[in-house]
Chains A and B, each alone.
Chain A
Amino acid sequence: MEQRIRPTRSGLFAIELLIAIGVFSVCAAVCVGIYTKSEVMSRDSQALNCAVAAARNAAECYKAAGGDLIKTAELCGGSVRGGQLELAFDGQWRILPGDSDAAPDFLLTLTGAQEGDFYSTAWVTVQRESNGGRMLLRWELAAFKEAAA
């Protein structure tokens, strides 16, 4: 004859607690996921803020140089390689010297696009080099050539 096992009070309490812990664990996991996401978003936002400032400075120098990349490099730093100006930054957004061996965390490039009689255009891009690399911004610029005169 089969003997029926009767649940004890403490056993039921343990099951109830386990269910509660399961629910709270799922909630905690979701919360930690949201915290991590907000941390990443905050870092990205700060990086974008600094990228905008760096790109704005490079754009102003490009305009002051009348679209000449070599003169732009003299004004804002960086080096011109293969028809594009490269400006490397460390994690604190300090400009790395052109001969530095340190791997940059962020890289600003200014690439000439179009040469007109009176103006020239270029693309400025800022990308994150560390953590897999990701483009932070890309703008098109135009500079009047008379500005350099």
Chain B
Amino acid sequence: MSRRSSAGAVAALIAALILGAALLLSLTTGAGVYRQVQYRSDSSMDQRLGLSYITEKVHAHDAAGMVSAGEFGGCDAVFLLQELDGVVYETILYVHDGWLKELFCEQGWELEPGDGQQITEARGLSAALEGRLLRLVYTDAGGTAQQADIYVRSGM
């Protein structure tokens, strides 16, 4: 084998190695970016979903004296009342057993927190009223706490 052809083979080998390294780098960068994007998307969804659900429910039930905060089975809860055909029903939103739950029943019924319908995974919810401002601190499944203030237009 001549010296010229041997140098060409080495150059081709180096070039092939560079190509392989570039491909590997491109793939690992892509995988890393995809993982980050997916993580951010998931955490944004987790944070937004539960709070948006509660916020929209409160706004939907915003009538005088129909929104309140209190305790339900040892958990902080948001109580939303509505009158249908002369009967008062309540929607209770609370976090129990790792889930944001919703319970819809006639007011006065003796129900347990475990009876609620699971909405989304969550770790905690605290609710307090300051005047017409309903202050919530919601902790999502990832452990991120987020505060939401909701102005109850129709009054408590």
Q: Which chain B residue has the least Cβ–Cβ distance from A41?
A: B37
Looking at chain B's contact residues, the main secondary structure is helix
Tell me, in angstroms, the Cα distance from A39 to B35 when the chains sit together: 10
Contacts of B29 in A (CB 8 A): 31-32, 35
With A13-B12, A21-B18 as contacts: A42 and B149 at CB distance below 8 Å: no
Docked-complex contact B8 and A39, CB < 8 angstroms: no
Q: CB within 8 A of B132: which of A9, A11, A147? A: A147
With A35-B33, A38-B33, A46-B40 as contacts: A75 and B133 at CB distance below 8 Å: yes
Stretch of A54-62, A108-116, A132-140 on the interface side: A54-62
Q: CB within 8 A of B19: which of A13, A20, A35, A61? A: A20
Contacts of B41 in A (CB 8 A): 42, 45
Looking at chain A's contact residues, the main secondary structure is helix
Interface string of A78-119 (1 = CB under 8 A from B): 000000000000000000000000000000000000000000
Tell me, in angstroms, the Cα distance from A17 to B148 when the chains sit together: 59
Closest CB of chain B to A105's CB: distance in Å? Answer: 16
With A35-B30, A42-B37 as contacts: A53 and B146 at CB distance below 8 Å: yes
Tell me, in angstroms, the Cα distance from A46 to B22 when the chains sit together: 30
Tell me, in angstroms, the Cα distance from A100 to B100 when the chains sit together: 36
Closest CB of chain B to A100's CB: distance in Å? Answer: 19
Tell me, in angstroms, the Cα distance from A56 to B44 when the chains sit together: 16
Interface string of A8-46 (1 = CB under 8 A from B): 111101100110110011001001100110110011011
**Can you list 10 A-B contacts (CB < 8 A)?**
A10-B8, A14-B8, A17-B19, A18-B15, A21-B15, A21-B22, A31-B29, A46-B43, A75-B149, A147-B153
List residues of A whose CB falls within 8 A of some B CB. 8-11, 13-14, 17-18, 20-21, 24-25, 28, 31-32, 35-36, 38-39, 42-43, 45-46, 49, 53, 56-57, 60-61, 63-64, 75-76, 147
